[in-house]
Amino acid sequence: MQVKACVAAGVLLAACAGEQPARPGRGMGSGAAGAPVAVVAVPVQARPYTDEFTALGTARANESVDITSRISSVVTRIHFEEGQEVEAGQLLIELDRRELEADVAMAEASLRKVASQFERRKALAKTRVISEAELDELEAEVMIAEAELRAARARLQDAYIRAPFAGTVGLRRVSVGDLVGPDTLITTLDDLRTLKLEFTVPEAFIGTLEEGMTIEAHSSVYPDRSFSGRVRTIDPRVDPDTRSVAVVAELPNPERLIRPGMFLTVDLQRRRDEVLLVPEQALVPRQGRQYVYVIEDGKAVEREVQLGIRAPGLAEVRQGLRSGELVITEGTQKVRSGSPVRIAATG
């Protein structure tokens, strides 16, 4: 994960060019009672700030399915071309249906037989020649025959393999005359009009995510193109092993340029309206902590700060400073807390 920062044009860095990063440890220059030390200082200001996080994502089809047969039969006709766009319900494959049609005919005949018997017995029931129990048994046989006919007709429809949704057909894996069954891959079908882009974000950045936020994705295959999308789903759970959360974004793909399985870099942006920023030159690291020198009443006062996101040349200060305070950016190696200072220049 890379972190970039885009800061509104300001004057924070104007006075800081050319300064080397502060060296750890206390300054060895003038003491508190010596002559004022000439320093350069800049005011701490709240400025607009945009975080941009880059992750590696994988494109997935919005819908994807392997086309197989529910029944075992022989392919008689193929109604698609490889790579063809098809609509939902469009016929793809026809299987040999002669036995299935015979099953339907037998079920229809069986139903007619028991239905005829039922009607005759029903007329006799009015004269009490047969009992109500016998009539109920015949009625149950009619219902069973009706169910068997529906099942036979459903199996007959299984001989017509159709597209379950609109999409792009993949490679054809069978030919006319092949025997296919539930384990036989006939082809694939992918909805490529909108892709799902799956990527992960470290848990530290969860607060930057929200459903509906805009993302920008790029592919090395199309270096001059940018693909815009929106975050659709954020996994409610954090992976305990990777300490990251899975994210799914929707990526419109009208030109079908992106294919399932392709890698894309994903840029997430978060704009924060009020962020305190200081130049990195102002930081004095020591024993794992970060300090700055603030000018108060003409003296340098050491102040520990808590940092947020770091960016080239800048650091976010979350605790320890207030907007408007002056921090020393040049001369930190010459002062210590309590040293009198003279501001030679300000940013």
37 domain-assigned: yes
pLDDT at residue 329 tops 70: yes
Cα gap 37→4, rounded to integer Å: 35
Residues whose CB is less than 8 angstroms from the CB of residue 213 and which lie 6 or more positions away in sequence, other chains included: 230, 231, 268, 269, 270
Q: Is residue 287 part of a domain?
A: yes
H-type helices in the chain, by residue range? 98-125, 132-157
pLDDT of residue 31: 47
Mean pLDDT rounded to a whole number for the chain: 87
With b for 16 or more beta-carbon neighbours within 10 A and e for fewer, the 205-228 pattern comes to: beeebeeebebbbbbeeeeeeebe
Asked if residue 62 lies in contact with residue 192, where contact means CB atoms within 8 angstroms, the answer is yes
Q: Please, which pLDDT band fits residue 272 given cuts at 50, 70 and 90?
A: low
Please tell me the total count of domains within the chain: 1
Residue 41 lies in a domain: yes
Is residue 268 one of the residues assigned to a domain? Answer: no
Mean pLDDT, rounded, for 247-266? 95
Q: Taking the mean position of all CA atoms in its chain, how far away is CA 342?
A: 53
Query: Averaged over 244-260, what is the pLDDT?
Result: 95
Q: Indicate whether 194 pLDDT > 50.
A: yes
Distance separating alpha carbons of residues 39 and 32, to the nearest angstrom? 15
Q: Is residue 121 part of a domain?
A: no
**What is the tens place of the pLDDT at every residue in 32-91?**
457 899 999 999 988 887 767 789 999 999 999 999 999 999 999 999 999 999 999 999
pLDDT at position 271, please?
A: 67
Could you give the angle at which helices 132-157 and 98-125 cross, rounded to 10 degrees? 160
Region label for 68, one of left (φ > 0), alpha (ψ between -120 and 50) or beta (otherwise):
beta
- Predicted pLDDT of residue 259: 95
Per-residue buried b or exposed e for 28-47, using 16+ beta carbons within 10 Å of the residue's own CB: eebeeeeebbebbbbebbeb
**pTM for this predicted structure:** 0.62
In a domain, 311, yes or no: yes
pLDDT at 46: 85
Q: Is 244 exposed, middle or buried (0-12, 13-18, 19+ CB in 10 A)?
A: buried
Residues 211 and 195: their CA atoms lie apart, in Å, by 16
Residue 38, domain member (yes or no): yes
**Which candidate, 116, 44, 1, 16, places its Cα nearest to that of 330?**
16
pLDDT at 10 over 70: no
Rounded CA separation 213/138 (Å): 64
Full domain range(s) for residue 294? 2-49+273-346
> pLDDT > 90: what percent of the chain?
67
Split at pLDDT 50, 70, 90, the class of 119 is: confident
Q: Is the pLDDT of residue 9 over 50?
A: no
pLDDT > 90? residue 171: yes
**Hey, what are 70's tokens?**
């529910």
In a domain, 340, yes or no: yes
Phi, psi (deg, nearest 5) at residue 99: -65, -35
The CATH number linked to 320 is 2.40.420.20
Report the distance separating Cα 270 and Cα 248, nearest Å: 17
